[in-house]
Structure 1
Amino acid sequence: MTHRPIIKDYLLRSAALEGFVPLMRELGIDGAALIADAGIKPDALASPESNISYAAFLDVLAAAREASGLQHIGLLIAERQSMSILGPLGFAIAQAPDVREAIGELNQFLHLHNTGIAARLVIEGDTVMWRLEVLLSNRPGVRQQEDLAVSIGVGILRSLLGRDWSPELVTLQRRAPMNTAPYRQAFRCPVEFEAEHNQAVFDYAVLDTRIAQSNSQLHAILNSHLRGLDASGKLDYATEVQQIILHAMKGGECTLPRVAQMLGTSQRTLQRRLSAEGRSFRDELETVRARVAMRYLEETAIPLTSLSMTLGYSDLAAFSHAFRRMTGVSPSAWRKGNRAN
């Protein structure tokens, strides 16, 4: 069977590069050249609403890390950005009545800004975890993107709650850099690395905090505008299913019935809609499994047997067979050739 390439591209608004060139200039680096080298044309940056390749954006972040020698370059970019980079979405969440609705709106419509990231809230008792997942998790620059995304998320909460607010904890999937001080300074809370999720953790009461500057009439207008944009530019269904599979996998139950339930549809409808795009649930499951496996193999020393269980395979042999079919090499060979420094 012929599979679609694992490294599928996504799109994001060019506003994601706001402040990048001036920052690079401060560091003595030609940021415009890094952008051009990644294949992003200057006219794509003329309007913040223009779409650019997400893979190219990650390449820009990877190049910036290499040129600057700063593992925390994503945090520095985030310092120069605000909710305004989200365009209409940023304006809408600023007018939401409370933090719960603001985050819910951002999670729902984030794909209007970036189709390569999925976000969700997880609530356990009095603890809230706002999780961000990068779908192109096996591409250079992804660690900087995760730093950037979580930092922007915390920045959004500070815009809504006050600049002195900080989460109780931030966790990142990336390996700990040699210098962790910039992370503690940026988030102003404990930071854990090599974690299962990229997330900001805070108290449940935060969700019910009213947003002082909110305007209900303006919010209704902006929300209606977002729904109009959403209706005219829906994600392809396979990408939507991949996002749900990724969340389901992290929850420990990644089956067709579970994913269909999370999508609010029937198993038959899910399969039919994927079939209309020339895909199947198994295709999407194996694609996500391979991407997650690559990330674990590159970032951690997890034993292959444990990894196969994490991904939901019956045994190591089944995992190795599936991984080789998707990538052309064994898991151990991939780890040897791609281990992160």
Structure 2
Amino acid sequence: MIFRDFARGPGSVRLVLEFGARRGLPAGRLLAGSGIGLAQLDDPECRLLGGQELRVIGNLLRALGHPPGLGLEMGRHYTFSTFGLWGYGLLNNPTMGDALAWALRFVGLSFAYCSIRFARRGDLAVLHYAPPPGLSAALGRFVAERDMAASANLLREVGGEDFRLSAFELKAGRGRVFSRPADPPRPGGAEPSFRGAAYRLAFPAGFLARRLPHADPLTLSLCERLCREQLERQRVLPDAAQAARDYLSSSDSGVPPSLGALADALHTSERTLKRRLGRAGASFRALAAQERAALAARLVGEERDSLSRVAERMGYASLSSFSQAFRRWHGVPPSAFRRGARGDGPSGVSGSYST
């Protein structure tokens, strides 16, 4: 769970906002619920949690209607300048293989969400990508596409103009977000496959020995020391309650992840997690209820789906049962809340969450 272990700079969120602005989405709409202010994004010393950026990405996906291939489009905008010191260090490695090892060693300084694994398969160098657990299908697909497309960009910049990927495979799945877009980009010069068994990209292993033209051992040594120091500064050790909120907020599914899934994500046992939450004055059940209530308010307020469809997405068998739960959470039925969100009347949100 590398993205939960390290904070990150504001550059990636800025790219998401710029990407949304080109599609007519105001920054305020994309930042809603993330706890990020616009002024923070102009501060190079600002550090954000991964869950905050995931909330911004989730807002983007919902606003655009979850179009297929959006992560591929987004990933094309990630270049060396996006990554600062981490990207600069790549260029100063002696070979492309050394640069790849560097990238994976200091991946906590990138904006990746996937766990990335390298393997040599005969004449191919293969990178495998695994989205973090607990994300919705749409969010998991987006971060996999984005991380892979960004990697293809960087490999192309390191490898030179003649570099070409041998394969760019996206995991097959059901639903619109897994379908092939009308005109998909070709990351790293490869035609993407949308029927893969996993997320992976591959290139000829011979490129690993390619010498890099800007390699400088003294600069590399300096970059390595600074990257180690930066990793330590950005390491995040949140309390259990904050970790649980971060995990729960990264999913826009109506059914919250289980305590066991959260414990696995934090590399601990359910018993230890319960004890840590208790010391923080929280419980998984209460935190899950708060996130569920917040998600319901967000879906109702967006007005993209009918109330019956929102009830279905939240896992309720009928609109009536969902309305009862919504009134318990927010003090008003969802229809009144939606009118208030439009400005047609008071929303009456109470801010209390019953379990």
The TM-score with structure 1 as length reference comes to 0.61
The corresponding residue for 2:118 is 121
Taking the aligned partners of 1:67 and 1:35, their CA distance within structure 2 comes to 12
SS in 2 for 1:51: coil
Change (3 A) 1:116 1:157: closer
Cα displacement (A) at 1:106: 0.9
Conserved 8 A contact 2:12-2:82 = yes
The corresponding residue for 1:22 is 18
Query: What is the root-mean-square deviation in Å for CA atoms of aligned residues?
Result: 3.5
Cα displacement (A) at 1:53: 2.7
Taking the aligned partners of 2:172 and 2:53, their CA distance within structure 1 comes to 18
Q: Which runs of 5+ in 1 are unaligned?
A: 1-7, 238-278, 287-326, 328-335
Deviations 1:1-28 (A, max 9, x none): xxxxxxx786332211243333322212
Deviations 1:46-95 (A, max 9, x none): 23442223223223223222323432222222222212222211110111
Instruction: Name the larger-Rg structure.
Output: 2
Taking the aligned partners of 1:234 and 1:115, their CA distance within structure 2 comes to 15
Deviations 1:319-339 (A, max 9, x none): xxxxxxxx9xxxxxxxx9799
Change (3 A) 1:49 1:124: farther
Deviations 1:295-339 (A, max 9, x none): xxxxxxxxxxxxxxxxxxxxxxxxxxxxxxxx9xxxxxxxx9799
Structure 2 matches for 1:166-177, cutoff 5 A? Answer: 166-173=164-171, 175=173, 177=178
Change (3 A) 1:104 1:32: farther
Conserved 8 A contact 2:169-2:193 = yes
Taking the aligned partners of 2:211 and 2:47, their CA distance within structure 1 comes to 33
Q: Which runs of 5+ in 2 are unaligned?
A: 239-265, 274-287, 289-311, 316-355
2:14 is the counterpart of 1:13: no
Conserved 8 A contact 2:5-2:235 = no
Which amino acid counterpart does residue 168 of structure 2 have in structure 1? V
Structure 2 matches for 1:160-171, cutoff 5 A? Answer: 160-171=158-169
Change (3 A) 1:29 1:228: closer
2:66 is the counterpart of 1:65: no
Structure 2 matches for 1:60-139, cutoff 5 A? Answer: 60-69=56-65, 70-114=67-111, 116-139=113-136
Conserved 8 A contact 1:18-1:80 = no
Structure 2 matches for 1:318-333, cutoff 5 A? Answer: none
Cα displacement (A) at 1:132: 2.7
Taking the aligned partners of 2:213 and 2:83, their CA distance within structure 1 comes to 20
Conserved 8 A contact 1:12-1:116 = no
Change (3 A) 1:85 1:282: same
The corresponding residue for 1:199 is 200
Change (3 A) 1:113 1:178: closer
SS in 2 for 1:23: helix
Which amino acid counterpart does residue 33 of structure 1 have in structure 2? R
The corresponding residue for 1:43 is 39
Change (3 A) 1:20 1:190: same
SS in 2 for 1:12: coil
SS in 1 for 2:78: coil
Change (3 A) 1:232 1:64: closer
SS in 2 for 1:20: helix
Cα displacement (A) at 1:212: 1.5
The corresponding residue for 2:326 is none
Taking the aligned partners of 1:39 and 1:24, their CA distance within structure 2 comes to 18
Conserved 8 A contact 2:7-2:47 = yes
Cα displacement (A) at 1:30: 1.4
Cα displacement (A) at 1:109: 0.8
Change (3 A) 1:18 1:232: closer
SS in 2 for 1:156: helix
Conserved 8 A contact 1:39-1:56 = yes
The corresponding residue for 1:144 is 142
Conserved 8 A contact 2:20-2:26 = yes
Structure 2 matches for 1:182-261, cutoff 5 A? Answer: 182-193=183-194, 195-234=196-235
Conserved 8 A contact 1:117-1:132 = yes
Which amino acid counterpart does residue 78 of structure 2 have in structure 1? Q
The corresponding residue for 1:244 is none
Cα displacement (A) at 1:148: 0.9
Taking the aligned partners of 1:13 and 1:196, their CA distance within structure 2 comes to 33
81-90 or 63-72, larger mean C-alpha shift: 63-72
Change (3 A) 1:105 1:56: same
Taking the aligned partners of 1:151 and 1:59, their CA distance within structure 2 comes to 21
Which amino acid counterpart does residue 218 of structure 1 have in structure 2? T
Deviations 1:165-199 (A, max 9, x none): 32111122353744435435344323233534322
